[in-house]
Amino acid sequence: MSLVPTINGKAMILGLKGRLDQDNCEVFRGELAPHLESAAREGLAIVLDLSQLEYVSSAGLRCFMLAVRQTKALNGRIVVAALQPMVAEIFQISRFNMLLEVFATVAAAVSAVSMDGFGTKK
């Protein structure tokens, strides 16, 4: 899963594709970490675009939890958008929708983080 950031307004959008499971969760964590730091440094919120993510297991959920903790430590913000049916179901069952702000679309997420004041360089 190669993460290529797109900046839109006050958001850094990162798209996840395919699956997030025990086979690729460590690679994903390694790829995500520098983006979390760079977004926090630039005062951008991270928007994870999950529209192409078909599957997540508990190994993948752990990545999200660790990303949230890392983002909090950096005084940053991370949200998720456009969850596919299976991923949305797993978020609901595990109550990860209480851990991460969930938006129906990437546009809605970008709009929300931009209005809430992220984007001002620290």
| Interface contacts to other proteins, rule CB under 8 A | 21-23, 54-55, 57-59, 61-62, 65-66, 68-69, 72, 85-86, 89-90, 93-96, 98-99
Residue 75 or 120 with smaller CB distance to other proteins: 75
Residue 91 or 118 with smaller CB distance to other proteins: 91
Minimum distance from residue 55 beta carbon to other proteins (Å): 5
In what order do the strands lie in the sheet containing 11-20? 6-8, 11-20, 45-56, 78-81, 101-103
Contacts of 22 (CB under 8 A, 6+ apart): 57, 59
Minimum distance from residue 91 beta carbon to other proteins (Å): 10
Alpha-carbon distance of 47 to 60, in angstroms, equals 17
Alpha-carbon distance of 52 to 33, in angstroms, equals 20
Minimum distance from residue 121 beta carbon to other proteins (Å): 27
Return the amino acid letter for 33.
Answer: A
Residue 51 or 111 with smaller CB distance to other proteins: 51
Residue 56 or 110 with smaller CB distance to other proteins: 56
Alpha-carbon distance of 5 to 2, in angstroms, equals 10
Minimum distance from residue 18 beta carbon to other proteins (Å): 12
